[in-house]
Amino acid sequence: MNLTLHLTDNCNMDCSYCIREKCPRDMSEEVLYKACDLAFSRGRRAGLCFFGGEPLLRKELIYKALDYCEAKSADTGILFDCKMTTNGSLLDEEFLLRAQKAKMVIGLSFDGKAQDVCRRFADKGRSPTSGIVREKAELLLRHMPDSIAMATIAPQAVPYYSGSVKYLHDIGFRRVSIVIAYGRKVHWTDGDLELLREELNNTSAYIKELFVQGDMFRVSPIDSKISECISGRNPAHKCHLGVRQMPVTPAGDLYPCTSFIGDKDYLLGNVYEGVNDKKVSEIAVRSSVPESCRECDLVNRCTNSCGCSNRMNTGDENRVSPLQCTYERMLIEVSDRLGEELYAIDPGAFKHKYI
Ligand code: SF4
Ligand code: SF4
């Protein structure tokens, strides 16, 4: 079973688009071990994702969870894997050596050239984070060269979009994942979206330039849209309301997805009493395609069925926001054009990259 452990609700950064309510509430060791037991209680694989707030504020809990789960895996034969999403500011050599031993996959939240636009420390002067995070990114890549950079682009950071992709590639990342910022703290205008289209085209031109040189650098969502088009697989359809990766709050409560935390209507149990399977099935059987999308030609390629982001944007898990719809159309248009161009340049290399 896959669980996302919210080790703390606290963070040492104060990003302007952050959707988390920050407070000094940490997970106890008791809840941590119960959550580990729960992950091992179903199926032949136990997966943990260390998350926050900023999970490295509670580094010692991560060490305890790794020791406990590795011993449990050796005893039971159940496979254990782990990952972490971090803002990177507290990474150090000792942690990375332990993470390497556990084969942890680390996603570094790093907005590249736009880092200081929105991602600031939570000190009085909201000081910039770009210097330290760049340093930590280089340290991370020395230990784990396959780590992913995860950037969030808010409207005010759109002019930096393609420049950030290049910057992250130049540092040494082989994979970059970019999402646009959603939620009540951000306000997109038509002008922002026009500029975003231009920046997606610039990014696509950069991916093409690297492809010609034999560099298979991947930028999600552009590259992933191409792969998904070929495979006919839409990951959003498998992830309606996220019940395949269940968050655990510091108090041990279980929810279908991070954006539902605190809403008692979506409480799925807790680490002491286990998962309320009846409630999980009620959520899982809900329609995965919003009514307004059913007749759309792009329905199988669009992430409209992400109930969590729909709820965050429109207040209704089955209603897509105009922003999401416009963005998806843009992405599909840009990635289809890129896919055709790359195939025409070198079909063999294209298959190698995307199939
Ligand atoms: S680092 Fe993450 S949790 Fe912390 S303020 Fe930024 S977005 Fe929020
Ligand atoms: S492009 Fe818009 S209408 Fe079409 S499936 Fe996506 S969100 Fe729905």
| Ligand closest to CA 18 | 1
Residue nearest to atom 6 of ligand 1 (CA): 15
Q: 149 lies in a domain?
A: yes
Q: 355 lies in a domain?
A: no
DSSP state, residue 272: T
The region that residue 336 occupies, defined by phi over 0 for left and psi between -120 and 50 for alpha, beta otherwise, is alpha
Q: Residue 14: which CATH number?
A: 3.20.20.70
Identify which of 103, 118, 109 has the alpha carbon closest to the alpha carbon of residue 91: 109
Q: 44 lies in a domain?
A: yes
Q: Who's near 278: CB < 8 A, 6+ residues apart?
A: none
The Cβ of residue 198 has, within 10 Å, a number of other Cβ atoms equal to 13
Q: 327 lies in a domain?
A: no
Q: 324 lies in a domain?
A: no
Q: 329 lies in a domain?
A: no
| Total number of domains in the chain | 1
Q: 301 lies in a domain?
A: no
User: What is the C-alpha separation between 86 and 105, in angstroms, rounded?
Assistant: 11
What b/e string do you get for 268-299 counting C-beta neighbours within 10 Å, with b at 16 or more? bbbbeeebeeebbeebeeeebbbeebeebeee
Q: Is 289 in the pocket of ligand 2 (CB under 6 A)?
A: no
The Cβ of residue 160 has, within 10 Å, a number of other Cβ atoms equal to 19
Q: 171 lies in a domain?
A: yes
Which residue among 7, 8, 15, 116 is best mutated to probe the pocket of ligand 1, counting the most ligand atoms within 8 A of its Cβ? 15
CB-based pocket (< 6 A), ligand 1? 11, 13-15, 18, 20, 52-54, 87, 109
CA distances from 82 to 5, 69, 100, 226 (A): 11, 10, 11, 27
User: How do the pLDDT tens digits run along the chain, 355 residues long?
Assistant: 999 999 999 999 999 999 888 889 999 999 999 999 999 999 999 999 999 999 999 999 999 999 999 999 999 999 999 999 999 999 999 999 999 999 999 999 999 999 999 999 999 999 999 999 999 999 999 999 999 999 999 999 999 999 999 999 999 999 999 999 988 899 999 999 999 999 999 999 999 999 999 999 999 999 999 999 999 988 766 555 656 789 999 999 999 888 888 889 889 999 999 999 999 888 877 656 788 888 999 988 998 767 777 877 888 888 889 999 999 999 999 999 999 999 999 999 999 999 9
Q: What range defines the domain where residue 251 resides? A: 2-286
The Cβ of residue 79 has, within 10 Å, a number of other Cβ atoms equal to 11
